[in-house]
Amino acid sequence: MGLIIMKLLSPLDAIFDGLNTFMFSSNFIDSRRNNAAESIGSDFDPTNNLLAIIDVLEVFIAIRIQLKLDCSCLRTLYLRTACMLDFINSSAHYFVKKKLLLVIKQCILCQFGENFAERSSCVLPQQHTNFQSDLLAVSNTVLQVLVSNWLEQVPVSPKACLFGGNEILGDEDSNCGPDLVMLRTVSLIVVKALEIKVQNWSFEGENKEDLNVQLQTCIHQLMMFIRTHLKSPAHSKRLIHSCAWVSLVFLEQDDDMVEAARALLNIYIHSVRGVNSLNAHESCFNPHCIFLLLLNNLTFDHCVLLDFLISAETCFLEYFVRYLRLLREEWQCFLCICSSQPLSIKDKDTADSSKCGILINSSKFCLGGQSQGLVDYANSEDSDSESITKLASVNTIKDSEKNNCNLDTRDPGNLSLDYCDEKDTNMCASSGTVFNKSVTCLIELKKTIARLQGRNLFPYNAIALLRLLFQIETLSATTLHE
């Protein structure tokens, strides 16, 4: 298959780069319209041509990632990102710019797109000769245009992007905007570019202080962009908390939300190691705040977390394991953040800025130490397996005494709600404090996974995940008894 496609694409190597540069040049649309008006006396709309070449770029991204090819034409989007980002300031139609940014997002996330048979979520090709350098080039280009106030030129429709249009009939005063699809796309492009930059800063030989300045500048630009378009009173109240933007922007799209949380977690881990002076909370990517706000938006329901863990649509398993490892190392930081939260996270809409200032200061307590290195999920299965197996067996016996129904014929993908009874779900709501709610949620999740694992109904080996949850439960029990 690869050889056939290489033969088909080889004639494009010499012409596609020039065609792409011409189509996305800043004066292409205006010049074409002027020439067409002079020759035929009517306006010419190049929209169809632009949409067609954007579709071709999307196919090229899928081919490069899926088949791991390195033709010159397949590298065009990676090497001409600056031209395409500059095109956002042109007079092209809004939906053309939006589609182009969506393709750039797929490029930097290494995703195929919804039109292809397989899903490439969380897959990063390693075999490419030029792939890593091209991806870093895309990241550097995005961060360079941010410094030039590129975000101020990005159009965001004040109307929401809904399935049936962008207006609610009979409700002219409805405040359902802005276009969160555009906000999510731009935000995720920036966050992913920052992640790639931070992960590769040592290879580029950059100074740590320079990296610190660049991170803070880019995050500041992104927050200004988000606040500019989320300026309703309800949005403004939620944005008082500096880390609330993640849940606010990404909540409607699970895969993007998890991808953003995972990227911000990686930025935190690498920046704390390499730039000790960087305050992660003031820079809006403290992972503990992001996780607590995520749980709050899920009403601390462990059943939803279980759905995420079972689903193949997101990278939640990878994110969750990485975060639990960090939580284990930064337990005191987590406690500090929980205790500083006024009343509960659920009251964040009414919390004033002075109370949120306590949370900002509390994060400084934990950033001085070095975080431990993360290892692959599979590498952690060789420790504490005996205790987890025993735990799973005990939970299985208890569960079998309570439930006599046959579960062997059930689809693991539909098990989460069956194993989350109403009593367990309501426990989180009645626990009181942020700490109690979050820990109760994790403990109930551990019990549910252990029951499924004990009956061989969980879709993958969850021993390592159970071990981490068991360690968090032990830490919480120790904290409560101190």
The predicted-structure confidence for 258-288, as pLDDT tens digits, reads as follows 999 999 999 998 876 544 434 555 668 889 9
Task: Calculate the alpha carbon distances from 106 to 312, 400, 470 in Å.
Answer: 18, 46, 36
- Which neighbouring-strand residues pair with 213? none
Name which of 64-78, 180-194, 392-406 the model is least confident about. Answer: 392-406
Who's near 301: CB < 8 A, 6+ residues apart? 420, 425, 428, 441
Q: Are 427 and 444 in contact (CB under 8 A)?
A: yes
Q: What sign results for the dihedral spanned by CA atoms 122, 117, 125, 102? A: negative
Query: CA-to-CA distance for 345 and 396, rounded, in angstroms?
Result: 34
Q: What sign results for the dihedral spanned by CA atoms 115, 119, 122, 128? A: negative
Name which of 79-93, 111-125, 171-185, 408-422 the model is least confident about. Answer: 408-422
Given this model, what pLDDT does residue 175 score? 53
The residue among 181 and 399 whose pLDDT is bigger is 181
Query: CA-to-CA distance for 145 and 457, rounded, in angstroms?
Result: 49
Asked if pLDDT for residue 321 goes beyond 80, the answer is: yes
Given this model, what pLDDT does residue 109 score? 94
- Residue 162: φ, ψ to 5°: -110, 170
Query: CA-to-CA distance for 260 and 255, rounded, in angstroms?
Result: 9
Task: Calculate the alpha carbon distances from 456 to 152, 213, 386, 452 in Å.
Answer: 53, 50, 17, 6
Name which of 123-132, 294-303, 343-352 the model is least confident about. Answer: 343-352
Q: What token pair was written down for 47?
A: 């929209």
Q: Of the candidates 474, 459, 330, 311, which has an alpha carbon nearest to the alpha carbon of residue 388?
A: 474
**CB atoms closer than 10 angstroms to residue 114:** 7
Place of tokens 């009343």: 343
Given this model, what pLDDT does residue 10 score? 84
Who's near 349: CB < 8 A, 6+ residues apart? 234, 237, 238
Helix/strand/coil for 251? coil
Mean pLDDT of 415-440: 57
Q: Are 324 and 259 in contact (CB under 8 A)?
A: no
Q: How many CA atoms lie within 13 A of 153 on its CB side?
A: 16
Q: Report pTM.
A: 0.79
Query: CA-to-CA distance for 438 and 98, rounded, in angstroms?
Result: 37
Given this model, what pLDDT does residue 232 score? 82
CA dihedral 263, 269, 272, 273 (to 10 degrees): -130
Q: Are 296 and 346 in contact (CB under 8 A)?
A: yes
Place of tokens 């989007």: 77
Q: How many CA atoms lie within 13 A of 434 on its CB side?
A: 25
Name which of 247-251, 301-305, 306-310, 431-435 the model is least confident about. Answer: 431-435
Q: Are 74 and 63 in contact (CB under 8 A)?
A: yes
Helices (H), 129-242: 131-147, 180-200, 208-229, 233-238
The predicted-structure confidence for 11-61, as pLDDT tens digits, reads as follows 888 888 888 888 888 666 666 555 554 554 445 568 888 999 999 999 999
Mean of the per-residue pLDDT values of the chain: 76
